[in-house]
Amino acid sequence: MSRRPSGHSTRAVHAGERQETPRQGVAVPIHQTAPYRFDSAAELAGAMEAPGQEAIYSRNANPSVRAVEEKIAALEGAEDARAFASGMAAIAATLSTVLASGDGLLCSTDVYGGTSAWLDWLTRRHPEVPVERSSLADLPARLEGGVPEGIRAVFVETPANPLLGCCDLERVAAACRPRGLTLVVDNTFATPILQRPLELGASVVLHSATKFLAGHSDVTAGLVAGDAETVARFDETRRLGGGVLDPHAAFLVGRGMKTLALRMERHSANAARLAELLAGHPAVERVHYPGRDPIGSRQMSAGGGMVSFVVRGGWPAASRVMDRLEVFAIIPSLGGVESGVSSPAITSHRHLTAQERAAAGIDEGLLRLSVGIEDGDDLAADLERALDGV
Ligand code: PLP
């Protein structure tokens, strides 16, 4: 500035606003800025030529967000990735990107309740987008038998919420490829540490990074990864839709991801032990765990941190177990370092009638555990004590 500013407000806004550091920090800085500053009009004009890649405005691109995108791409074996404000923002952006007007979707019935609700909303608002549903078990044969006219993409969640059913991705991908179908896989429950859908033939893999990837239950985020050409198509969807990840949230996701492999190892060891305990307990009718599923145990390198089980005696017994647990908190989410218990009958599937829940395989006594990284002995003792009481 040619004249030294003397006003308090001007000095308060501009003094100290330099960002050069003598050397690089170990952690990627939190680039907590919405717009970027340019040295000249020509520099701004040049940057505007590639708004998806340049740091112009953080809805287009931001270095803290980019660091997380590079991390998930490296873990999933993808060419590129994009980050979103939540898992649902990632799902909405994915379907808006891969489906054009009139294109239909084949989706497995066992998906997160929010995904189902979004698809219901889509078909109500846009009846021209046909959405077909298929059970996880029937999906491969359904695709091999030929898909209905107009279907352009397939959406699968595996392991699926809340019964933890697993789908043979290699078989589904092999059926999608010759038919030109885009296969989208929600890999939230397995994470790339345990399962890599792109290597099995999927076109796009996505995550609610709110769960295991960030891992500390303190941020919402979504990630999408795939080949460079497909991922580049997400830039316009994100820039216009606006569901971008905040730089501070990106820092939390990136920090969590640094310990993902270690956490998944402990989540899986603890959950496998509890699945075994539950399977032998007289108060338990059924146990669902990917490590006990033939497809899950072949496709994943470990069973993961999610276990579901049916308590004998329906909702009265299940709610007693929830209330008696002490280390497990009642948490309607999953994937954090802390253990949690939830009931699909009163959360994701509460809007269904008892008959509809039964048809979907959701027993009133079904409980879903998100097994954390605490000491296995403490978790086993807590669960056993709660079950012995019913
Ligand atoms: N996918 C799965 C498998 C989930 O469990 C969830 C949320 O629970 C989502 C997507 C949506 O993610 P978010 O809550 O981050 O929007």
d(CA 158, CA 57): 35
CB distance 190 to 289 below 8 Å:
no
pLDDT at 21: 79
The answer on pLDDT for 378 being more than 90 is: yes
What's the pLDDT at 1? 55
**pLDDT, position 356:** 81
pLDDT of 330 over the 70 cut: yes
pLDDT confidence band for 103 (50 / 70 / 90) = very high
Which residues surround ligand 1 with Cβ inside 6 Å?
86-88, 112, 114, 157, 161, 186, 188, 208, 210, 220, 222
Given a cut of 80, is residue 53 above it in pLDDT? Answer: no
The CA distances from residue 1 to 5, 6, 19, 203, 388, in Å, are 8, 12, 18, 52, 75
**Lowest-pLDDT range, 125-129, 224-228, 238-242, 262-266?**
125-129
Residue bearing the CA closest to ligand 1, atom 13: 87
In a mutational test of the pocket of ligand 1, which residue from 110, 208, 349 has the highest number of ligand atoms less than 8 Å from its CB? Answer: 208
112 is known as an active-site residue: yes
Q: Is 211 a catalytic residue?
A: yes
pLDDT-based confidence at residue 17 (cuts at 50, 70, 90): confident
Q: Which of 118, 164, 195, 210 to mutate to test the pocket of ligand 1 (most atoms within 8 A of CB)?
A: 210
- Give the model's confidence band at 204: pLDDT under 50 very low, under 70 low, under 90 confident, else very high: very high
Tell me the mean pLDDT in the region 188-215: 98
Cα(227)–Cα(199) distance, rounded to whole angstroms? 11
CA of 295 to the centre of ligand 1 (A): 22
Q: Give pLDDT tens digits for 141-163.
A: 999 998 888 999 999 999 999 99
CA nearest neighbour of 189 among 254, 294, 112 = 112
For the CA of 89, the nearest atom of ligand 1: 16
Q: Across residues 12-35, what is the average pLDDT?
A: 88
Q: How far is ligand 1, taken at its centre, from the CA of residue 184, in Å?
A: 15
Question: What is the pLDDT averaged over residues 305-318?
Answer: 97
Identify the CA nearest to 94 among candidates 188, 196, 12: 188
Q: For atom 2 of ligand 1, which residue has the closest CA?
A: 112
Residue 50 confidence (pLDDT) above 90: no
207 C-alpha to ligand 1 centroid (Å)? 7
| Residue of 168, 186, 293, 363 marked active site | 186
Comparing 119-128, 163-172, 369-378, which segment has the lowest mean pLDDT? 119-128
pLDDT in tens, 239-277: 999 999 999 999 999 999 999 999 999 999 999 999 999
pLDDT at 24: 87
**Averaged over 92-112, what is the pLDDT?**
94
- Output the pLDDT for position 2: 66
Given ligand 1 and candidates 84, 88, 244, 342, which is best to mutate, with the most ligand atoms within 8 Å of its CB?
88
Pick the catalytic residue from 36, 80, 112, 357: 112
* pLDDT average, residue stretch 337-361: 89
User: What's the pLDDT at 369?
Assistant: 98
- Residue 231, sorted as left (phi over 0), alpha (psi -120 to 50) or beta, turns out to be alpha
Q: Percent of the chain, pLDDT > 70?
A: 99
Q: Could you say which of 59, 133, 255, 312 is catalytic?
A: 59
Give me ligand 1 centre to Cα 126, in Å: 23
Q: How far is CA 104 from the centre of its chain?
A: 23
Q: Which of 188, 217, 342, 349 to mutate to test the pocket of ligand 1 (most atoms within 8 A of CB)?
A: 188
50 compared with 284, residue with greater pLDDT: 284
Give, using CA atoms, the residue closest to atom 4 of ligand 1. Answer: 112
Q: Stretch 127-135: mean pLDDT, rounded?
A: 92
> For residue 195, which of 253, 234, 156, 252 has the smallest C-alpha distance?
156
Report the atom number in ligand 1 closest to the C-alpha of 333: 8
Does the annotation count 171 as an active-site position?
no
| pLDDT, averaged across the chain | 94
